[in-house]
């Protein structure tokens, strides 16, 4: 194990321990602490996407965001600044079948990722390697098209060598 | 100890030029109140800082040596002034407030909001919470309320937020924006909401302005004379709704202008699957 690998391993080990009495299943944990299982290392990774949608009031379902197949991906944040005042959307997790993250198509994702902030995904979403994250859009009927872009923020969970 | 989110708001319809002293905000008789934040709502049309306040702690002494604004010290204009450590007022007690009018002219519709929790003894009321084994996902429950007229009078009552048959819902935050999918939406100024649990027991003593109770997704004013908070309103502790449960909210609007407004409410948190 070279110096960098040792440093990464130490960093990972530090995160695994967490604060005293920390329990991963505790729903009231601080948002910054996430449990990395022993033998794994989390690596920051962001997934950017962009879709061009017609402004005609119709729903456009199942727009796919393809995830890499080299490691599981864990979503911890979401960002989409340009749906505000434009329409509604619905986000799904990567299960099969997928779970919707809102009970219906929702104005501006219900707040996910609006404005200059990244929205925390709490609790985090675990996605298998190569999974798809789906998004539905429904924009107002102002005519023309809108290019919507955004980003999932999170980590790839890699095995320790 | 069972905690339950609670807002108490002092409404002063008319603030004389000379201000008011020893105004009592009466607290409910069912539980003590832990105050954790105090927040001014500025009079529409008045310059920020049109009035200042001070209030008495449970011990009877004042919380500040002089009248103050939210922006003094720890607080900010949009977030209010955090109270730490919390101040616990007894059940059936009152928060005594002095209001100083710094404009020299009469003001109307002055409001001072205290946010915090009611404190109940264990076992004194139902307190559903997470099952021992569960799976949790982020979740948003949207509620669209169409064409809220300028003056709703008795209000638009009992709008529903439903948990589903197969999962519980933990309400942690909410936001509200005026948006009509068909365009041509009006603007609001005086729009108030009162959130209630399944038994219609409210989480506030009076309806609360939506810029205080919720956040807005817009960074700029949407009709209100103050800029909306650019982040969601938080409920602390979270409000746990068991499967098949319902939360209600009443809407009151007292604008004389702005036209009909379609509001998009989003109630966010987590859905909890029992396993």
Cis ω for the linkage preceding B237 (within 30 of 0): yes
Q: How confident is the model at residue B225 (pLDDT cuts 50, 70, 90)?
A: very low
Cβ B265 vs Cβ B217: under 8 Å: no
Tell me, yes or no, if A22 comes closer than 8 A to chain B by beta carbon: no
Contact B142 A123 (CB under 8 A): no
Substitution target in A29, A104, A111 with the highest count of B β-carbons within 10 Å is A111
E-assigned strand segments in B179-260: 191-196, 208-209, 233-241, 246-253
Q: Is residue B156 part of a domain?
A: yes
Minimal Cβ distance to A106: which of B136, B140, B182: B140
Contact A122 B183 (CB under 8 A): no
Q: Provide the number of structural domains found in chain B.
A: 2
CA atoms within 13 A on the CB side of A156: 15
Q: Is residue B228 part of a domain?
A: yes
Q: How far apart, in whole angstroms, are the C-alpha atoms of residue B39 and residue A38?
A: 45
Q: Which helix (H) or strand (E) holds A54?
A: strand A40-54
Q: Is residue B191 part of a domain?
A: yes
Q: Is residue B127 part of a domain?
A: no
Q: What CATH number corresponds to the domain at position B218?
A: 2.60.120
| Residue A12: predicted pLDDT | 45
Cβ B50 vs Cβ B42: under 8 Å: yes
Q: Residues A122-157: pLDDT tens digits?
A: 888 999 999 999 999 999 888 899 999 999 999 999
Which of B44, B122, B42, B107 minimizes the C-alpha distance to B80?
Answer: B42
Q: Residues A84-106: pLDDT tens digits?
A: 778 899 999 998 889 999 999 99
Q: Residues B100-150: pLDDT tens digits?
A: 998 888 888 888 999 999 999 999 988 898 888 888 889 999 999 999 999
ipTM of this predicted structure: 0.81
Longest alpha-carbon distance in chain A: 59
Q: Residues B241-274: pLDDT tens digits?
A: 999 999 999 999 988 888 899 998 999 999 998 8
Q: Which of B120, B145, B179 is the last residue of a domain?
A: B120
Minimal Cβ distance to A123: which of B138, B142, B231: B138
In the block, residue with structure tokens 């005042």: A85
Return the number of CB contacts < 8 Å for A and B. 81
Task: Say if residue A2's pLDDT is above 70.
Answer: no
Task: Say if residue A18's pLDDT is above 50.
Answer: no
Minimal Cβ distance to A107: which of B138, B164, B264: B264
The strand order across the sheet containing B208-209 reads B156-162, B246-253, B191-196, B208-209
Task: Say if residue A161's pLDDT is above 50.
Answer: yes
Cβ A136 vs Cβ A90: under 8 Å: yes
Minimal Cβ distance to B268: which of A84, A110, A117: A110
Rounding to the nearest 10 degrees, give the CA dihedral for residues B152, B235, B273, A111.
Answer: 70
Cβ contacts of A31 on chain B, cutoff 8 Å: none
Substitution target in A54, A108, A110 with the highest count of B β-carbons within 10 Å is A110
Range of the domain at B228: 134-274
Pair B140, B61 in one domain: no
E-assigned strand segments in chain B: 2-15, 20-26, 32-41, 51-55, 81-89, 94-101, 107-120, 134-148, 156-162, 168-178, 191-196, 208-209, 233-241, 246-253, 261-274
Task: Say if residue A42's pLDDT is above 60.
Answer: yes
| Residue B255: predicted pLDDT | 86
Q: How confident is the model at residue A7 (pLDDT cuts 50, 70, 90)?
A: low
Q: Residues B84-108: pLDDT tens digits?
A: 899 999 999 999 999 999 888 888 8
Global pTM reads 0.86
| Residue A84: predicted pLDDT | 79
């Amino acid at each position: 194990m070279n110096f960098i690998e040792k440093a990464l391993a130490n960093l990972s080990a530090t995160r695994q321990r967490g604060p005293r009495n920390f329990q991963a299943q505790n729903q009231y944990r601080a948002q910054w602490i996430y449990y990395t299982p022993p033998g794994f290392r989390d690596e920051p990774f962001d997934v950017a996407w962009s879709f061009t949608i017609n402004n005609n009031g119709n729903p456009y379902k199942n727009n796919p965001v393809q995830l890499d197949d080299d490691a599981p991906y864990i979503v911890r944040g979401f960002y989409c600044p340009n749906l505000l005042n434009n329409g509604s959307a619905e986000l799904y997790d990567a299960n099969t079948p997928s779970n919707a993250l809102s009970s219906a198509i929702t104005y501006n994702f219900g707040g996910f990722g609006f404005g200059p902030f990244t929205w925390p995904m709490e609790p985090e979403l675990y996605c298998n390697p190569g999974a798809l994250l789906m998004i539905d859009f429904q924009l107002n009927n102002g005519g023309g098209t809108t290019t919507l872009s955004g980003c999932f923020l999170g980590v790839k969970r890699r095995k320790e060598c | 100890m069972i905690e339950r989110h609670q807002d108490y708001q002092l409404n002063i319809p008319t603030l004389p030029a000379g201000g008011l002293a020893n105004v009592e905000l009466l607290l409910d008789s069912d539980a003590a109140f832990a105050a954790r934040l105090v927040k001014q709502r500025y009079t529409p049309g008045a310059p920020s800082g049109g009035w200042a306040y001070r209030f008495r702690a449970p011990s009877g002494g004042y919380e500040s040596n002089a009248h103050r604004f939210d922006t003094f010290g720890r607080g900010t204009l949009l977030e209010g002034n955090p109270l730490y450590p919390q101040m616990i007022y007894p059940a059936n007690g009152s928060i005594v407030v002095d209001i100083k009018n710094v404009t020299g002219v009469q003001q109307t519709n002055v409001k001072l909001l205290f946010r915090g929790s009611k404190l109940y003894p264990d076992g004194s009321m139902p307190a559903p919470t997470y099952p021992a084994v569960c799976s949790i996902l982020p979740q948003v429950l949207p509620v669209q309320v169409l064409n809220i007229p300028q003056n709703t009078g008795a209000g638009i009552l009992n709008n529903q937020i439903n948990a589903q048959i197969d999962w519980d819902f933990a309400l942690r935050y909410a936001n509200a924006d005026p948006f009509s999918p068909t365009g041509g939406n009006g603007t609001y100024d005086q729009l108030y909401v009162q959130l209630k649990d399944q038994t219609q027991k409210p989480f506030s003593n009076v309806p609360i302005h939506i810029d205080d109770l919720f956040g807005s997704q817009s960074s700029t004013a949407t009709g209100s004379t103050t800029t909306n908070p650019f982040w969601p309103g938080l409920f602390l502790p979270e409000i746990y709704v068991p499967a098949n449960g319902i939360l209600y909210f009443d809407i009151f609007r007292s604008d004389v202008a702005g036209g009909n407004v379609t509001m998009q409410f989003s109630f966010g948190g987590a859905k909890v699957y029992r396993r």
